[in-house]
Structure 1
Amino acid sequence: MYFIGLVALLISLPILGIAGAWLHLDAAGIDAIRQQAQTVLPGYLVTSGWLALFVTAGVILVGAVTAVAISLFEFRGKRFLSWALLLPMAMPAYVSAYAYTDFLQYAGLVQSSLRDMFPGFRIDVRSLSGAIFLFVFTLYPYAYLLARNALSERGVHLMEAARLLGTPLHERIYRVALPLARPALMAGAALALMETLADYGVSAYFGLTTFTTGIYKAWMVMDDRIAAAQYASLLLLFVAVLLWLERREQQRMRFSSVRGNRRDDGAESRLPQLHGVKAVAAWLVCATPIVLGFVLPVLILLQLMWRESEMSLATNLVRYAGWTWNSFRFGGMAAAIAIVLALALCFAQRASDLPRFKYGFLRVVARIASMGYAIPGSVIAIGILLPIAWLQAVFPGSMAGVWLTATSLGVIYAYLVRFTAVAVQSVEAGYTRIPMSFDEAARTMGTSRSRIVQKLHMPLLWRSLATAGLMVFVDVVKELPATLLLRPFNTDTLAVIAHNLARDERLGEAALPALSIVVVGLIPVLLVTRALNKR
């Protein structure tokens, strides 16, 4: 229990550090808040608000249309499209931003050709509308996947019942399918919105004034830790509201989680077959997000990498090996520690001989651990740096700041705060498949808890543990804002170097690390696809 309490304290420390910033307000701090409210804060609110509104609407629209087409109709190529629609999950939005910036630059082939046909035509991809486009077509799989599951489980039978009652197709979709998928769509949109608010790469590269860029500028440029903590606390409050809404919608999804009886699946329950123009329309609806969210950015990055190979790619291979090693080193260490923490948390909750108050304590600990994934990396970084700054102010000779900022300890800690929740969810899912009778039988034979974990649980949980480690590893490789703020000096990862090269307009050199991130991100997508097919 002492270990679990220490884990809870360490995970909650960044949040407590951000909240504690409001306890150190003085007259100068209040005056700074007043100045921010009159200058930069309205811009952060407006830009973040427009992003939230339009990304939510776009993700719901694309997710709903693609989920309805895949779940409720049959057409040639549907099996391929059903898993290909998940591919944009492997494409970080900031990587897609680098590709589209080169593809749609003012002097590029696309805009030059369009200006020849339409004089005065101009596209500015590095804008708010460009950021909305990128977020929608890289984050819609959240809504698509959840809505597809909801519709596949009961949508077919309800749509068939409505058809037998004489309801037209468009009415069946509008009055049956979409209401059935609404909780799933809202839950997926909430997840996409949290990813949007947590993003730093797109906002910084496009020059947008969002809360995430404001946090980074306040700390790194203006050296104002109080302002950074205030921005972080506002963003954290908004994320907490989103997390609450997402959990509420997940609970409302229970009404659509009961599968139909497969013995009743006869010819009367078969999906409508699309032919001709309708089949082409379904193909276009499903293929367009795939092309815009994955295929086109990958092709652009490959072309940039090929162009760079004719110039100076060979000279960068040694440095590329160093960036790759740093990414894999951070990812491996974070994944290994996250697996241990997740196994300890889940086993402690499973113990059957704990008093009731300890059960409640463990439930609170698990809830705190599950919040980390919803907190932006920049917020976690500020929550770590603030206590260090206060500690150094009180104890000038303290080495805590050196250990957390000059070594890998600080960035690994941030990864654990943010991504331990991913490992906990995977291990919890694995524990649900191990009956409690196994533990009880082992305890009656006098087996200790440590031996139960070692000899009984771990052999049965190895798939869940491997999945947890892989998911944490991939998330660490893709993480940008926390790494930017906390990485040791002269220690760049693939995400950081891709961002720095793209910021310097060296997109050809940024293509290789960006593509490497995409390749790593494909691994969980392929695992999810395999799991869906096996189901």
Structure 2
Amino acid sequence: MLRFDKLSFITIATAALLTLPIVVIVIQIFSQDMSIWHHLYETVLFDYVTNTLLLMFGVGVGVIILGVSTAWWTSSFDFPGRRIVSLLLLMPMAMPAYIIAYTYTGILDFAGPIQTVLRSVFQVSYGEYWFFEIRSLTGAMLMLAFVLYPYVYLMSRAAFLSQSGNLLDVSRSLGVSPLMSFFKVTLPMARPAIIAGLSLVLMETLADYGTVEYFGVSTFTTGIFRTYYGLGSIAGAAQLATGLLCFVLLLVMLEKFSRRRIRYFSHTESQIKPNRVKLTGALQWIVLAWCMVPVSIGFLIPAAVLAYWSVKSNVLLSSEFFVLIWNSFSLAFIAAFVAVTLALVLAYAARKSKSKLVNGAVQVTSLGYAMPGTIVAIGVVIAFNGFDNAFLSFLERYTDIEFGLFLSGTLVAVVFAYTVRFLAVSLGAIQSGLQSIKPSIDQSAQLLGLTPSQIIRKVHVPLLSGSVLTAFLIVFVDVLKELPAT
């Protein structure tokens, strides 16, 4: 008979609660016949699978190139404007992909200023010249890569900065060049953090709807929306959503399998932080230009266009704008606080427990991140409505007082949907940070009589301050950008 301590019970109960909306959606599969699924299988399912895989591959390659390279340059080298660039590289995270998709469509499309000027200068007409088609699968890859690379950048840079300078000094003393030292020492040590960031990017890519829909790319997400709204079938949408969950499960298993026997510890008493190499000559300006490319494309240009539109419409002067600001920031703060708190508990439970059930429960909580926001919201509404209706029926049977809905239509439902949707973000950042803390530190705290909650609060939180702030920031920004569930 299996026996669980209090922390394991809380972990399993939390995982069961957070996966309730997904279970509700999966149950809908069996509520009707499979005719719609057969129709999708015979017509568009192959396109959904192919485009989704290609999109994941293109975005994954893009974010690794952009995120890892910029993280290495800004953490290991010194060049003009490095500190400012290090902060600017985070800014595209605040820009929703569908917003820059709309912005660049206006700039690069046939009626945009660039093609208009080209036709005027060279006296050519439509069809007589080649120009990059922004509304395409490649365009969607680029838009998503330029706004999602900060996930990889943040975690990679944190891993690079935490590495001991002793290892790099030893590699240099053996005659290894800085570039080879990066590939043979720095990059392998940072692999857990890079994989964690890449997993978040790929799950975000799977869940994206606005960009691929605007560009006319058929993926699982657009198929779910079209099935739900076009065919009016929640069962058909749930069947596609279940297929999307299979992609997420595959990602989670691959991420775990890739580092199943690998452990990296960097918190040592003799740790020496590596000295940054000062770049000179043309190389320093080339590195600066490279770091400014994703900043400009992912934030500066779209922000300038949005600012121009805002000034023209005078929306910034309206009282409703400040109400929207308060609602957005307050909800984002609450959701980020809840997500980070739960992530700390779940990550510590997975670290402490050897039970496959507990570790599996922790991983299951990450599934909501790849679900489209509307599907998560539908699952939350169905589950909360069922609870409210059952509870109200019970109260009406024994009292004459009329009660309103307790959970449905309240901020509790919104925050719960945010937590289901974005818990994986904070969990990935916290678990990546925990891997660099030796288990002996936990054992020493237990010998001193500290409870699990005290270990988290007094030991892990101080050591994981960077990871905790990173997780809070990412969830906060993601909630601000979230549209369908809200």
Contact between 2:168 and 2:185, CA under 8 Å: does it hold in 1? no
- Provide the C-alpha distance between the structure 2 equivalents of 1:332 and 1:113, rounded to a whole number of angstroms: 45
1:479 has 2:482 as partner: yes
**Residue number among 5, 10, 17 corresponding to 2:24 in the alignment:** 17
1:160 has 2:172 as partner: yes
1:241 has 2:250 as partner: yes
1:188 has 2:200 as partner: no
Q: Partner amino acid for 2:40?
A: Q
Cross-structure match for 1:295: 300
Q: Between 361-370 and 200-209, report the one with greater CA deviation.
A: 361-370
1:319 has 2:292 as partner: no
Cross-structure match for 2:233: 224
Q: Provide the aligned C-alpha RMSD in A.
A: 4.8
- Provide the C-alpha distance between the structure 1 equivalents of 2:199 and 2:480, rounded to a whole number of angstroms: 23
Displacement of 1:296 after TM fit?
1.6
- Provide the C-alpha distance between the structure 2 equivalents of 1:298 and 1:25, rounded to a whole number of angstroms: 46
Q: Partner amino acid for 1:157?
A: D
Cross-structure match for 1:34: 38
**Residue number among 354, 378, 384 corresponding to 2:380 in the alignment:** 384
1:61 has 2:65 as partner: yes
CA 1:237–1:64 in structure 2 vs 1: closer, same or farther (change >3 Å)? Answer: same
1:87 has 2:88 as partner: no
Cross-structure match for 1:276: 281
Cross-structure match for 2:55: 51
Contact between 1:232 and 1:382, CA under 8 Å: does it hold in 2? no
Cross-structure match for 2:399: none
**Residue number among 278, 285, 292 corresponding to 2:290 in the alignment:** 285
Contact between 2:328 and 2:480, CA under 8 Å: does it hold in 1? yes
CA 1:215–1:460 in structure 2 vs 1: closer, same or farther (change >3 Å)? Answer: same
Displacement of 1:288 after TM fit?
1.2
Contact between 2:92 and 2:295, CA under 8 Å: does it hold in 1? yes
Displacement of 1:74 after TM fit?
3.6
Q: Partner amino acid for 1:308?
A: S
Q: Between 63-72 and 291-300, report the one with greater CA deviation.
A: 63-72
Displacement of 1:236 after TM fit?
0.9
Which structure 2 segments of 5+ residues have no match? 1-5, 397-402
Cross-structure match for 1:101: 105
* Secondary structure in 2 matching 1:303: helix
- Provide the C-alpha distance between the structure 2 equivalents of 1:435 and 1:185, rounded to a whole number of angstroms: 25
- Provide the C-alpha distance between the structure 2 equivalents of 1:227 and 1:297, rounded to a whole number of angstroms: 36
Displacement of 1:392 after TM fit?
11
CA 1:340–1:200 in structure 2 vs 1: closer, same or farther (change >3 Å)? Answer: same
- Provide the C-alpha distance between the structure 1 equivalents of 2:45 and 2:484, rounded to a whole number of angstroms: 20
Cross-structure match for 1:331: 332
Deviations 1:202-249 (A, max 9, x none): 123333222112222222332101111111111111012112223344
Cross-structure match for 1:497: none
- Provide the C-alpha distance between the structure 2 equivalents of 1:458 and 1:253, rounded to a whole number of angstroms: 21
Displacement of 1:25 after TM fit?
5.3
Contact between 2:168 and 2:181, CA under 8 Å: does it hold in 1? no
CA 1:112–1:177 in structure 2 vs 1: closer, same or farther (change >3 Å)? Answer: farther
**Counterparts of 1:393-432 in structure 2 under 5 Å?**
406-420=409-423
CA 1:373–1:205 in structure 2 vs 1: closer, same or farther (change >3 Å)? Answer: same
Q: Partner amino acid for 2:319?
A: V
Deviations 1:429-473 (A, max 9, x none): 79x899788788789xxxx999x89x9899989989998766644
**Counterparts of 1:137-148 in structure 2 under 5 Å?**
137-148=146-157
Contact between 1:187 and 1:246, CA under 8 Å: does it hold in 2? yes
Q: Partner amino acid for 2:308?
A: Q
CA 1:158–1:203 in structure 2 vs 1: closer, same or farther (change >3 Å)? Answer: farther
- Provide the C-alpha distance between the structure 1 equivalents of 2:351 and 2:64, rounded to a whole number of angstroms: 37
* Secondary structure in 2 matching 1:107: coil
Contact between 1:380 and 1:482, CA under 8 Å: does it hold in 2? yes
Contact between 1:377 and 1:418, CA under 8 Å: does it hold in 2? yes
**Counterparts of 1:373-522 in structure 2 under 5 Å?**
373=369, 375-384=371-380, 406-420=409-423, 472-483=475-486
- Provide the C-alpha distance between the structure 1 equivalents of 2:359 and 2:289, rounded to a whole number of angstroms: 46
Which structure 1 segments of 5+ residues have no match? 484-535
Displacement of 1:187 after TM fit?
4.0
* Secondary structure in 2 matching 1:481: coil
Contact between 1:184 and 1:250, CA under 8 Å: does it hold in 2? no
- Provide the C-alpha distance between the structure 1 equivalents of 2:142 and 2:484, rounded to a whole number of angstroms: 21
Task: Give the % identical residues.
Answer: 36
- Provide the C-alpha distance between the structure 2 equivalents of 1:378 and 1:189, rounded to a whole number of angstroms: 23
Cross-structure match for 1:495: none
Contact between 1:342 and 1:427, CA under 8 Å: does it hold in 2? yes
Displacement of 1:420 after TM fit?
4.3
Q: Between 50-59 and 274-283, report the one with greater CA deviation.
A: 274-283
- Provide the C-alpha distance between the structure 2 equivalents of 1:150 and 1:426, rounded to a whole number of angstroms: 11
Contact between 2:66 and 2:149, CA under 8 Å: does it hold in 1? yes
Deviations 1:58-78 (A, max 9, x none): 122223432443344443333
CA 1:8–1:57 in structure 2 vs 1: closer, same or farther (change >3 Å)? Answer: closer
Deviations 1:388-418 (A, max 9, x none): 79999999x9999976664444333312322
CA 1:461–1:323 in structure 2 vs 1: closer, same or farther (change >3 Å)? Answer: farther
Displacement of 1:147 after TM fit?
3.7
Equivalenced residues, count = 459
Displacement of 1:17 after TM fit?
2.3
Contact between 1:159 and 1:177, CA under 8 Å: does it hold in 2? no
Contact between 2:204 and 2:369, CA under 8 Å: does it hold in 1? no
Q: Partner amino acid for 1:237?
A: C
Contact between 1:229 and 1:382, CA under 8 Å: does it hold in 2? no
